Structure 1
């Protein structure tokens, strides 16, 4: 935040210097036009219709504006700038400090901020996908009744922010699921993950959120009841800025509710600590610590992966888009093991093939039923494949897709929610600026359009990059490194190009939107080109300068619609999060 404040002061100083050199005064300019100093042609009313008497002009054509007023902006007004900046932009920038970080390096944390601000679509997509994945996970395991299922769901959900790796070789996963000796692993890892991350609400977080809400409310009310509105104050009004950043409020609040486990060092420490008490089955039937066999563990954080999978290792939650597919496959591995163990235990089949010891209401599956040798433990989670399965469905019971179940439906729903929040808030800013005389697309509306379009493009590029990265890993690994053939190598190269392009666009977009807001508050956009809506009106562009009471009254409807649109989309998004954020867990 200190660097951000320094950067803002530098920009403000540059704007003040520029404004003092090229400043103009549109009210004085209009008086000169009305006096006939610039001829009798070019005067219009505030709808762009030519007036018969130049002295009655309240607006002037774009060509006359350039000749009479020049191409420079209005003079910088510190009072207007400070009021609008502190009321609209500063609360949003302060709220950004409450975003969850936790990456291994400061550079990765900086990139996560730029991605979030530069692409609210990507930020809200990763958030919505995290909530949907957690809800799907709980539903996926809901019908299972084997011991430790509940802890497994909580652990897997908590590891959405980490490069989760599940190993099935050497009976690692089978032993972790089946053996009674590993009950402490599941219980302790769940407690350690939750213990390291208590509820993340803090006084500073609440203060920042309340600051944004109160500032938005009072400044919106003030914009409708604030007294006399002048030409300069109208063009520097920050109501649209408040709407364009309103998406940040539901995103920050939702992450505070989720409290993501995104500190790489602490998560890795909790997993390593739990793995020290993980047991594996042996040939003689007596389990031993996994550390006595090898350095491999059933549940761990994946190492390396190369540049293709680098975003999967960035634990800031905005990168959850890159981890969703591999995380889903890892969950499926654990689910398949629990499913087979649960079904066999429901059929009263002990692991070692002896007599089933009946449980009671306190202990469903007694420890004696969960002991066995290495081959017995391995066989206990292997699916029973019926001979007719290949013939009828071509997918036996043990088949698992390379994509995972339900990924498409979750992708579509998360995309709809992300696009709705993005364009609901940015669209409100566009509506609020479009109808300010002169109606049309000028610098202010154009800057918001660029921000929304680039935000969407960044989301598309990075999601496509994550899909290509997943495709590139289809050939498997060798000695911990990914192995590529020609097709997967092409996918890997394309993934890297798309990811780097997306990040560059996101960083540029973040700088762009903050600069555009500063330009608006400093009257930098208050010039002939911007005020004449030349981008949409073309040769019919004109600059409405002398605003009439009916012009100001006509702004109430679009401003109210913009506030309702931004607030409504934010409330709907928060409602979605609160409905799905705490799914019912298995017994």
Structure 2
């Protein structure tokens, strides 16, 4: 007994095949082996398929398209709205969406970097014994989504760290950044909708393996699975990505900032007007333009500058902490005031000269920052495992769907994963070149040559960034179009269903699915579904 694969489209073709004389060249079984009796035919060669069935695609069936689209693709498209945005310009928010869909590797990479940075900064400040260290960790961790620049000129950073009058500044800053962008009824409903729809369609597809297997959305559901952990991850991280709100928090806190002066500290605005923490504004086309886009996916571009800013603050706290542990007060010729709790306020007072003249005990800031490459490697590995865990599952499901091999559907998924990976690599290189072009070179003996190298790196960074965004946009459109093709019978044609790309001259089209093929196909689909969860498990450990 045999079961029809797509009877509505190829009934007439199958009737014509079985009416051919016995021994007709091109009549084969589901393994591509020749069959002499036409009435026993379950597959035909690609050449015979073109001759008898034609080159056109199968008939469009609205019932199949609407059911598959609403069950497999529409929930994922709706879930995209739960990604964090918050950039000043709508175009940046649109680009954030296109970059995430066009390169899930880049989206997962920025998410992983954000989590790893929060862990790193906690370790980086853990050895400091000085007031406001905990507040500094919270503030800097929350400022990953904005173009932060730390100013140490005129003693402003040292004043923020050592002066007791600036305790309120740290508190005000943390409270201003302590808003929540996390779980909501809308987000929970969207995620629940996706999960339930995915589970029901997976169960239904396993129960009806033989019906419309080429239009079945198993591959589509798997290729979009990356979106679920990224959305949930950002909801858990709760990034502070509303640029205007962060800018307002900084502005409000800076009104309470004090600068060391004689005989008493004065409001910072009365002196330099240059706060310790500022948000940069870049012109469009600038090498650092993506740093200003506060949507979290652009954390890839802010990674190196943010680390450098954190290292400046860490160095200031390190110097203050070591001096405090050595009982060296800020003010000159002032005895150390003992305290049972923390550092006494009298030990943190001094003039601007006292603050600026404090001995440097910490290690100088590196050109790139501490442990940056370790985090880049770990974040890259996590992002790649997510991309290829989902794309690999979709590829495996379609690969083992008759006719087995590399065809239009599996090739389209493979191309999507490859381009996604390429976009991530391009954008990563762009961020590296951008930071390199901005690095100081105080000891360089060839300043002119160094200037040329920096300018070349900056131009290369801008070019790579624009190429990456363009390719990501095409890839985002590509994956949506591929899913629509999957449901509209566009791929139901001899070329695609014969897996010509992979089998070449041995390509054949499977007309019927025998009962012996059902367990193998169901096992492949189950294996493809579990393939993602295996990668997810490996990624978590």
TM-score (norm 2): 0.94
What corresponds to 1:254 in structure 2? 233
Tell me the distance in 2 between the aligned counterparts of 1:177 and 1:62: 74
Are 1:320 and 2:320 matched, yes or no?
no
Query: Out of 327, 335, 344, which is 1:355 matched to?
Result: 335
What corresponds to 1:336 in structure 2? 315
What corresponds to 2:140 in structure 1? 156
- Rate the CA distance shift 1:572–1:210 in 2: closer, same or farther, 3 A: farther
Q: 1:190: Cα distance to partner?
A: 0.2
Tell me the distance in 2 between the aligned counterparts of 1:426 and 1:253: 19
Query: Out of 204, 207, 226, which is 1:225 matched to?
Result: 207
What corresponds to 1:16 in structure 2? none
What corresponds to 1:390 in structure 2? none
SS of the aligned residue for 1:80 comes to helix
Are 1:372 and 2:350 matched, yes or no?
yes
What corresponds to 1:87 in structure 2? 71
In the TM superposition, what are the counterparts of 1:416-427 in structure 2 within 5 Å? 416-427=381-392
What corresponds to 1:273 in structure 2? 252
What corresponds to 1:198 in structure 2? 180
What corresponds to 1:401 in structure 2? 366
Tell me the distance in 2 between the aligned counterparts of 1:336 and 1:435: 57
In the TM superposition, what are the counterparts of 1:297-316 in structure 2 within 5 Å? 297-304=275-282, 307-316=286-295
What corresponds to 2:153 in structure 1? 169
What corresponds to 1:286 in structure 2? 264
Tell me the distance in 2 between the aligned counterparts of 1:46 and 1:534: 15
Q: 1:199: Cα distance to partner?
A: 4.9
Q: 1:220: Cα distance to partner?
A: 1.2
Q: 1:571: Cα distance to partner?
A: 5.2
Q: Is the 8 A contact 2:22 2:38 kept in 1?
A: no
Are 1:521 and 2:475 matched, yes or no?
no
Q: 1:559: Cα distance to partner?
A: 1.0
TM-score (norm 1): 0.87
In the TM superposition, what are the counterparts of 1:175-194 in structure 2 within 5 Å? 175-194=159-178
Tell me the distance in 2 between the aligned counterparts of 1:312 and 1:429: 34
What corresponds to 1:415 in structure 2? 380
What corresponds to 1:436 in structure 2? 401
Q: Is the 8 A contact 2:22 2:36 kept in 1?
A: no
Q: 1:360: Cα distance to partner?
A: 2.0
RMSD over aligned CA atoms reads: 1.9
Query: Out of 32, 39, 46, which is 1:48 matched to?
Result: 32
SS of the aligned residue for 1:404 comes to coil
What corresponds to 2:4 in structure 1? none
Q: Is the 8 A contact 2:103 2:472 kept in 1?
A: yes
Deviations 1:345-369 (A, max 9, x none): 11221111311211123xx112111
Total equivalences in the alignment: 527
Q: Is the 8 A contact 2:105 2:384 kept in 1?
A: yes
Q: 1:568: Cα distance to partner?
A: 3.4
What corresponds to 2:433 in structure 1? 468
SS of the aligned residue for 2:149 comes to strand
Deviations 1:61-86 (A, max 9, x none): 11111111111111111111111111
Tell me the distance in 2 between the aligned counterparts of 1:229 and 1:439: 15
SS of the aligned residue for 1:554 comes to helix
